[in-house]
Amino acid sequence: MPRFAANLTLLFTELPFLDRFEAAAEAGFDAVEVLFPYEDAAPEVQRRLAAFGLHMVLINTPPPNWTGGARGFAAIPDGQDRFRHDFKRALRFAHAFNATHLHIMAGVADGDAARSIFVENLTWAAAEAPKQSLTIEPINQGDMPGYFLSDYDLAADILGEVNAPNLGLQFDAYHAHKITGDMPATWKKVKHLTRHIQIGGLPDRHEPLAGVIDYPAWFQGLDDGGYDGWVSGEYHPAGRTEDGLSWIKGFD
Ligand SMILES: O=C(O)C(=O)[C@H](O)CO
Ligand SMILES: [Mg+2]
């Protein structure tokens, strides 16, 4: 089975944020990710990671206000100062947590100006943080209307143009199905670009079980294909988080 991580922004929300680390460790996870770990003091998060033997797989560059606010600044033509300021801050958090990946959020934008500023900002970020793995993630338009990056061909083109060794694709299987209608075929096209995977069930982004996407078969394919990155559960549990974790235990 792949190496699994728990997204603590979406999982274990029965508990206050800082208590989710212990719950994830007790449920059998060795690693976690947190979309926006900017509201709690970094040393407190570090303490929880160490206390429960957890690795931080990923954090995101910050939007100012996640609830109904911006979705990032990397592709916003007049948002370059904001993006660079936020990126440096995000990098400090990523270093403090020893996070494997930092996901750069593009924001809501479209057109040629957005594409060129995205390439420019990614090129700058990759040079600014040569030792940090950076990712970009296509997100479906239904969940995030107007998000700049919602196309895998565009993501592949941009990665090719930036051509930085520390920048790669974040492949969210739930978004991939929503965007292309054929997640396994999309995976085959982009797996060579991918450095992090997230998963969730279809159609409602609940547990990643067998269904529209045959997750048991796909996990086997990841193993057979030698994928050695993390696979993170990023979904809204249908009930109690602990009751829906058969996917980390071989679907028993
Ligand atoms: O929406 C997702 O799938 C993500 O992974 C983003 O990081 C933020 O929502
Ligand atoms: Mg995702």
Q: What separation in Å is there between the alpha carbon of 16 and the centre of ligand 2?
A: 22
Q: Separation of 82 CA from ligand 2 center, angstroms?
A: 23
Tell me if 248 is assigned to some domain.
no
**pLDDT, tens only, 60-117:** 998 766 677 789 999 999 999 999 999 999 999 999 999 999 999 999 999 999 999 9
Mean pLDDT calculated for residue range 157-168: 98
State residue 211's pLDDT score.
85
Q: Give the model's confidence band at 161: pLDDT under 50 very low, under 70 low, under 90 confident, else very high.
A: very high
Domains held by the chain: number: 1
- Which domain does 232 fall in, by range? 3-241
Tokens, residue 70: 């911006």
CA–CA dist 96, 158 (Å, integer): 29
202 pLDDT band, cuts 50/70/90, is very high
Asked if residue 67 belongs to a domain, the reply is yes
From 172, 195, 230, 236, the mutation candidate for ligand 1 (largest count of ligand atoms within 8 A of CB) is 172
Confidence of residue 146 (pLDDT cuts 50, 70, 90): very high
Average pLDDT value for residue range 39-65: 93
- How far lies 179's CA from each of 153, 173, 182, 216, in Å? 11, 10, 8, 21
Residues with catalytic roles: 137, 234
Check whether 44 has a pLDDT greater than 90.
yes
Q: In 8-73, which ranges are continuous DSSP H helix?
A: 20-27, 42-51
Asked whether residue 113 is assigned to any structural domain, the reply reads yes
Whether 246 is in a domain gets the answer no
Using the structure block, give the residue that is written with the tokens 């040393």.
Answer: 43
Omega before 203 within 30 of 0, i.e. cis? yes
Tell me, yes or no, whether 251 lies in a domain.
no
Asked if the ipTM is above 0.95, the reply is: yes
pTM over 0.80: yes
Name the more confident of 251 and 27: 27
Least confident of 123-127, 140-144, 179-183, 246-250: 246-250
Residue 210: CATH number of its domain = 3.20.20.150
* C-alpha closest to that of 158 among 138, 186, 176: 138
Which residue of 60, 61, 147 sits with most ligand 1 atoms within 8 Å of its CB, as the best mutation to test the pocket? Answer: 60
Q: Given the CA of residue 174, which atom of ligand 1 is nearest to it? A: 3
Note the pLDDT tens digit of each residue in 169-192.
Answer: 999 999 999 999 999 999 999 999
In a domain, 18, yes or no: yes
